[in-house]
């Protein structure tokens, strides 16, 4: 057998449930069939860019065909559309990996997301799971892929009808590309419009006119190719010459999303270091926003040659930003391993990060509504920077927005907060927890509300970490309302709050001392509260201890061997406390039950369970029997 002959193809099945997966994609996820062409052209452009990079070290890979190109061939008579590139090509193993594996994060999880996206939101999933190639099955009942890796004599043929299996084997090298990949779509009967030049040219100019590889079209087999896109890199053009539509199209291509960018950052740095940046803040939340690896999604080019999409150009708390940086100073032969250690890349990272944050600040000042949407989408991620990036902490604090006890349904900046400080207020008060609704009803807030003091409501897990750092804003430290003494005596109550005029009976002091003796090691202290006005009890952390929410998070993660004993605060003016303080010495059993029930009530108000559910139930039953007629 000669190398020009094809071998019998081997049949393989996709991952389990892929037939159903492909059906869901074609009929539920992709609402615009035109997207298949953009996805295939993007793949072809990536292949050409990869070859340009590899050819820096191995020029022989280019052979006699150094100019990258993408070609669309129309074969209307046979109802076929062919997309071909002269890029890096794929080996047999790479074709199995790239075309025979769908959604490597897990087929079942992927299918669950697709099914959840039905009902109008499906289009936002396009490109987010590495399934762009399979959009071809929206318009084709069979797809053939022939690919020859640069420098190889062997060509591989992959073929599938998109119904759950594919074949792969050696292709006839005589008719295969000399280098690169040819995708042949055998179009469905209702997809014949994709054999019309006008339709294809319109789609290319609307969706793929920016790719850095020229695109040509052949109206029929044997015709002369005619260029319909020149391959000029969009980011190299002046901003004044680029329309909003072109930016949006480029964003959708580079981000793999179909939303509108909320912010576009396009600039050229000159001077000591020269580089061009085109970055976008998405309008919608990417599916991998909270990926534990927290990788960024910025591509690195050197003089328009794609180098890698794994360079850490932005800090992890800006991982939602999509785009690229094209450096004129990095050497073209820089290895991917050396990139991260490059002092030049460190300077680029610093410059790009500062510029993105600066543009976010401008958006916040000039279009508060648009910035609010950005914060609602990415605020929890940006707040990671408050914990991780000391150098830019003050900038991030300026950008931060919060729900507070005074904000209603809106958002407040720290500037707004500091501008509303009460007389003698020297701290920025906050409360952390798991959700806004629970935070708003925290008993620890009562004394602050009684004095009109605004409190930040912090429901995100990261909040418990950044506020624990030694941090301040305009000289005002952050202080938890659930930690230490409230120290509210210097701040007057709002007029009309009658609770402040109620004197606590002397018997309450003895009752509090009795509670402390009864509860023993269960608490670190029992004391009268300045922060309670409506509730009878609450729990707080010691002054030198850890915030209670942070303590809970670390305990759940197994990073806290033992929690600190809380302080039980008692409202000495509360009707229940005053009544309980009157219990006589002959009711010692009742006093003990009451002490433990008050502690369990404070735990429940704090979002916890009683320490001993059975004992809690028994005590409650005994107290209820005593009050029964």
Interval 254-271: pLDDT, tens: 887 888 999 999 999 998
| Higher-confidence position of 302 and 65 | 65
* Residue 123 pLDDT grade (very low, low, confident, very high; cuts 50, 70, 90): very low
Helix (H), strand (E), coil (C) string for 210-279? CCCCCEEEECCCCCCCEEEECCCCHHHCCHHHCCHHHHHHHHHHHHCCCCCCCEEEEEEECCCCCEEEEE
90 is in an annotated binding site: yes
* Residue 124 pLDDT grade (very low, low, confident, very high; cuts 50, 70, 90): very low
* Residue 103 pLDDT grade (very low, low, confident, very high; cuts 50, 70, 90): very low
pLDDT at 14: 53
Q: What is the pLDDT of residues 205-251, one digit of tens each?
A: 877 777 789 999 999 999 999 999 888 888 999 999 999 999 998 89
| Region 235-371: CATH code | 3.30.230.80
| Higher-confidence position of 19 and 122 | 19
* Residue 23 pLDDT grade (very low, low, confident, very high; cuts 50, 70, 90): low
| Region 502-627: CATH code | 1.20.120.790
Six-digit token string for 279: 């970055």
pLDDT at 254: 83
What is the Cβ-side half-sphere exposure of residue 40, based on CA atoms within 13 angstroms?
A: 31
467 is in an annotated binding site: no
376 is in an annotated binding site: no
* Residue 102 pLDDT grade (very low, low, confident, very high; cuts 50, 70, 90): low
pLDDT at 231: 84
Q: Is the per-residue pLDDT at 108 higher than 60?
A: no
131 is in an annotated binding site: yes
Instruction: Please state the domain extents for the chain.
Output: 10-232, 235-371, 502-627
pLDDT at 131: 55
* Residue 446 pLDDT grade (very low, low, confident, very high; cuts 50, 70, 90): very high
**Least confident residue range of 186-200, 283-297, 492-506:** 492-506
| Higher-confidence position of 552 and 20 | 552
Q: What is the pLDDT of residues 305-320, one digit of tens each?
A: 777 777 889 999 999 9
170 is in an annotated binding site: no
Burial of 548 by CB count in 10 Å (0-12 exposed, 13-18 middle, 19+ buried)?
buried
14 is in an annotated binding site: no
Q: Is the per-residue pLDDT at 496 higher than 50?
A: yes
CB atoms closer than 10 angstroms to residue 519: 19
619 is in an annotated binding site: no
243 is in an annotated binding site: no
* Residue 340 pLDDT grade (very low, low, confident, very high; cuts 50, 70, 90): low
Euclidean distance between CA atoms 52 and 602, whole angstroms: 66
pLDDT at 25: 58
pLDDT at 330: 81
| Topology classification of domain 10-232 | Heat Shock Protein 90 (3.30.565)
Burial of 388 by CB count in 10 Å (0-12 exposed, 13-18 middle, 19+ buried)?
middle
Q: What is the pLDDT of residues 414-436, one digit of tens each?
A: 999 999 999 889 999 999 988 89
106 is in an annotated binding site: yes
Mean pLDDT score of the chain, rounded to an integer?
Answer: 85
Euclidean distance between CA atoms 425 and 452, whole angstroms: 11
128 is in an annotated binding site: yes
543 is in an annotated binding site: no
Mean pLDDT for 518-525 is 92
Q: What percent of the chain has pLDDT over 70?
A: 86
pLDDT at 56: 87
* Residue 127 pLDDT grade (very low, low, confident, very high; cuts 50, 70, 90): very low
Q: Are 76 and 220 in contact (CB under 8 A)?
A: yes
Q: What is the pLDDT of residues 564-618, one digit of tens each?
A: 789 999 999 899 999 999 888 778 889 999 999 999 999 998 888 898 999 999 9
133 is in an annotated binding site: yes
**Least confident residue range of 119-128, 273-282, 612-621:** 119-128
> Position of tokens 């990869």?
50
Q: What percent of the chain has pLDDT over 90?
A: 54
* Residue 547 pLDDT grade (very low, low, confident, very high; cuts 50, 70, 90): confident
Q: Is the per-residue pLDDT at 114 higher than 70?
A: no
Query: Highest mean pLDDT: which of 271-285, 331-345, 488-502?
Result: 271-285
Q: What is the pLDDT of residues 26-53, one digit of tens each?
A: 555 555 788 789 889 988 988 998 898 8
Q: What is the pLDDT of residues 348-402, one digit of tens each?
A: 999 999 999 999 999 999 999 999 999 999 999 999 999 999 999 999 999 999 9
493 is in an annotated binding site: no
Euclidean distance between CA atoms 534 and 529, whole angstroms: 11
Query: Highest mean pLDDT: which of 95-104, 196-205, 337-346, 347-356?
Result: 347-356
pLDDT at 49: 87
Euclidean distance between CA atoms 92 and 171, whole angstroms: 11
Question: Nearest 5°: CA angle at 213, between 211 and 216?
Answer: 105
43 is in an annotated binding site: yes
Six-digit token string for 582: 């009157």
Rg (CA), the chain: 32
| Higher-confidence position of 125 and 415 | 415
Euclidean distance between CA atoms 529 and 499, whole angstroms: 13
pLDDT at 129: 38
Say which DSSP state 70 is in.
Answer: E
């Amino acid at each position: 057998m000669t190398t020009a002959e094809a071998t019998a193809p081997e049949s393989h099945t996709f991952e389990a449930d892929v037939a159903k997966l492909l059906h869901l994609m074609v009929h539920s996820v992709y609402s615009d069939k035109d997207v298949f062409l953009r996805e295939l052209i993007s793949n072809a452009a990536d292949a050409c860019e990869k070859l340009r990079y590899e050819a820096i070290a191995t020029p022989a890979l280019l052979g006699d065909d150094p100019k990258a190109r993408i070609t669309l061939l129309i074969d209307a008579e046979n109802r076929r559309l062919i997309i071909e590139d002269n890029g890096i090509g794929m080996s047999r193993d790479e074709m199995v990996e790239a075309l025979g594996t769908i959604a490597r994060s897990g087929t079942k999880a992927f299918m669950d997301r697709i099914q959840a996206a039905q009902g109008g939101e499906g289009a936002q999933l396009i490109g987010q799971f590495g399934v762009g190639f399979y959009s071809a099955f929206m318009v084709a009942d069979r797809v053939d892929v022939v690919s020859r890796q640069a420098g190889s004599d062997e060509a591989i043929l992959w073929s599938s009808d998109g119904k759950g299996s594919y074949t792969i084997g050696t292709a006839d090298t005589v008719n295969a590309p000399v280098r690169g990949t040819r995708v042949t779509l055998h179009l469905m009967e209702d997809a014949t419009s994709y054999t019309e030049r006008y339709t294809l040219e319109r789609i290319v100019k609307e969706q793929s006119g920016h790719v850095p590889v020229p695109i040509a079209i052949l109206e029929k087999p044997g015709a002369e190719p005619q260029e319909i896109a020149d391959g000029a890199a969009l980011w190299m053009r002046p901003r004044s010459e680029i329309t909003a539509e072109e930016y949006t199209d480029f964003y959708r291509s580079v981000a793999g999303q179909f939303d509108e960018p909320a912010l576009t950052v396009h600039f050229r740095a000159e001077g000591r270091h020269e580089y061009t940046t085109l970055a976008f803040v998405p309008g919608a939340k990417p599916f991998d926003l909270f990926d534990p690896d927290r990788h960024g999604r910025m591509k690195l080019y050197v003089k328009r040659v794609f180098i890698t999409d794994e360079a850490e150009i932005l800090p992890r708390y800006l991982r939602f930003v999509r785009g690229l940086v094209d450096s004129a100073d990095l050497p073209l032969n820089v290895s991917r391993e050396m990139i991260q250690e490059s002092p030049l890349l460190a300077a680029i990272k610093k410059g790009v990060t500062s510029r993105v944050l600066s543009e976010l600040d401008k958006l916040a000042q000039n279009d508060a509504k648009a910035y609010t949407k950005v914060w609602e989408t990415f605020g929890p991620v940006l707040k990671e920077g408050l914990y991780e990036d000391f150098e830019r902490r003050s900038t991030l604090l300026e950008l931060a927005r919060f729900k507070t006890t005074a904000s209603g349904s809106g958002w407040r900046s720290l500037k707004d907060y500091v501008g509303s400080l009460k007389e003698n207020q020297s701290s920025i008060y906050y409360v952390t927890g798991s959700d806004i609704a629970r935070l708003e009803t925290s008993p620890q807030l009562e004394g602050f509300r009684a004095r009109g003091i605004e409190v930040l409501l912090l429901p995100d897990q990261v909040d418990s970490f950044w506020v624990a750092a030694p941090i301040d804003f305009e000289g005002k430290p952050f202080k938890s309302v659930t930690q230490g003494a409230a120290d509210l005596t210097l701040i007057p109550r709002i007029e009309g709050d009658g609770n402040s005029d109620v004197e606590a009976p002397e018997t309450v002091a003895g009752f509090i001392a009795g509670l402390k003796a009864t509860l023993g090691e269960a608490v670190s202290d029992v004391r009268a509260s300045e922060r309670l006005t409506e509730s009878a009890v609450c729990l707080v952390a010691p002054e030198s201890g850890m915030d209670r929410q942070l303590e809970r998070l670390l305990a759940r993660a197994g990073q806290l061997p033992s929690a600190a004993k809380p302080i039980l605060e008692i409202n000495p003016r509360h009707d229940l406390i005053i009544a309980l303080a009157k219990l006589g010495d002959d009711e010692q059993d009742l006093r003990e039950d009451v002490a433990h029930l008050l502690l369990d009530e404070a735990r429940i108000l704090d979002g916890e369970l009683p320490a001993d559910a059975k004992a809690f139930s028994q005590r409650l039953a005994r107290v209820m029997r005593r009050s029964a007629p």
